[in-house]
Structure formats: structure tokens, C-alpha cells
Amino acid sequence: MGNEQPVVQVQSVDRALAILDMLARRGEAGVTEIAAELEVHKSTAFRLVGALENRQLVEQVSDRGKYRLGFGIVRLAGATTARLDLPREGQPVCERLAVELDETVNLAILDTGAATNITQSYGSAAVTTRNWIGQRTPLHATSSGKVLLAWADGTVLEEALDTLERFTPKTITSRSRLLAELKLTRERGWASTNEELEVGLNAVAAPIRGTGGAVVAAVSVSGPAYRLTVDSFPSITDKLRAGADEISARIGYFGD
């Protein structure tokens, strides 16, 4: 008896997705047509359509009683397209930043509780050719991670706050201190790490926004602490944020 509810919920999700697929194929359809294709009672189809309409995933065609895909689909597609476009559109900007800043530049996205690097460019002064592409790094101990965490939803934030692992003596493991830093990140528009993931490694990152303004990635510059000093962070962020804004524009965000 206790296992029946999850099964019903999964069945409802499957049927809702089938409705979206049907509307994508047909363009529009009424509740009666939807019920027939799904082989469910008309009241069930109406309930499912109503749930999708509440999320703006479908909308009713005025005066005709039929439904079509809604603007919510465009919003979801825009977010996906931005992520797919990031490597292609971000690479040339990262390469230019690497030359201008003469350090290693990475592009990272939020990936199930971690920051995953998807592109990387080296400056001529880079002391290592370590490949960060595909590497999952902790959100609280990296500059990109802090940017992604600063604009993440509550669930992601809570999970991160519950797993503040220490990597170096300077890693932030205090919930209150991390929350204060994330607040500062949102206010000033950039985040930094001072030997918090690895001793001797510093980094600065800025947010990249997709269509609609949501933060979809972070671009960071990292280098040895003796060269990428804390005092240099503010001057570095000017170029970094300009690069982040350029990548944002390339994937469809043009500001408020």
C-alpha cells in the first residue's frame, strides 16, 4: 500500500510529458483529444493539462478550447540552449582573457552539487598545464563555485552548507561566514578564493547570465598566490567581469 503513491506520481509525470510531446507534434489539441491519445478519462487529462498550464508549459488557445505549448517551454529551452552554447561562445573570450591576464581561465557550470569546468585557456605565465576540464570542484572552496552558489536555489545552497569539507587551513567551513561571503558576492558581482582549495592557489570568478538573466555559469582566473595576490583581485575583476558580460551577451543576455 505504501508503494502505490510513488507509482501514481511517476505515472502522472509520464503522462504530463506525453502531453507536451503530443502538443509539440500536433501544434494544438483539446482535452478530449489528449484523453483519447493517453487512454485516460477526460477528467484526468483536464487535471494534467491544468497542472502544466499553472507552470506555463501549456496555454489555452482563446475561444477554441484547445491547448498549445506555452512560454514556459521557451524559458526552459532558453536555459538549455545557453548551457549548450557556453563552450562554443565562451572559448574565444576565455582565450583572450588568458592572454590579457596571463593566467589560467576556466568556464564552469553548476553540476549536481559541484562546479564542473567545461573550458580552459592558459596564459603564457601559467606555471602548470593541469587540465581542469571535466573536473568537479567544491562549491564552497572555489571562486566559480561561490559564484554559482551565490545565485543557486535554496536546495542547492542548503546541501552545500551541510557539506563544508576542509581542504586547506583557509577553507571556509563556517556556515555564517560562507553566507556572508555569498552575500558580498551578489553585491559586488564577483567571488574569490585565497588558498582555500589548494595551498598556493588563488582565483577570482564572475557570473555569466543566460536568457532571462539567470546565472548559468562562472568564468574564473586562477594562478599562484604569489602572483595572483589578494591585492590584485579588484583590478583583475574589471577585465574578468567585462569578459563575463561578453559571454552573457553571446548566449542571449543583454542586461536588464
Q: Which pairing describes strands 136-137 and 29-30: parallel, antiparallel, or unpaired?
A: unpaired
> Which fold is adopted by the domain 4-69?
Arc Repressor Mutant, subunit A (1.10.10)
Cell of 26: 500536433
pLDDT of residue 256: 62
**pLDDT exceeds 80 at position 229:** yes
The band of 135, judged by pLDDT with boundaries at 50, 70 and 90, is confident
Q: Which residue from 91, 88, 17, 11 is spatially nearest to 52, judged by alpha carbons? A: 17
Phi, psi of 114 (to 5 degrees): -145, 170
Q: Which residue from 213, 242, 210 is spatially nearest to 84, judged by alpha carbons? A: 210
Order of strands, sheet of 136-137, starting from the edge strand that comes earlier in the sequence: 136-137, 115-121, 104-110, 215-224, 201-209, 191-194
DSSP 227-241: TS-GGGHHHHHHHHH
pLDDT of residue 4: 53
The band of 128, judged by pLDDT with boundaries at 50, 70 and 90, is low
The band of 165, judged by pLDDT with boundaries at 50, 70 and 90, is very high
Cell of 211: 536568457
Cα distances from 74 to residues 27, 78, 83, in angstroms, run 15, 6, 14
Q: Which residue from 199, 205, 204, 206 is spatially nearest to 228, judged by alpha carbons? A: 204
Write down the mean pLDDT value for the chain. Answer: 88
Q: Which residue from 220, 210, 216, 215 is spatially nearest to 144, judged by alpha carbons? A: 220
Q: Which residue from 21, 42, 40 is spatially nearest to 31, judged by alpha carbons? A: 42
CATH architecture of 76-250: 2-Layer Sandwich (3.30)
**Which residue ranges make up each domain of the chain?**
4-69, 76-250
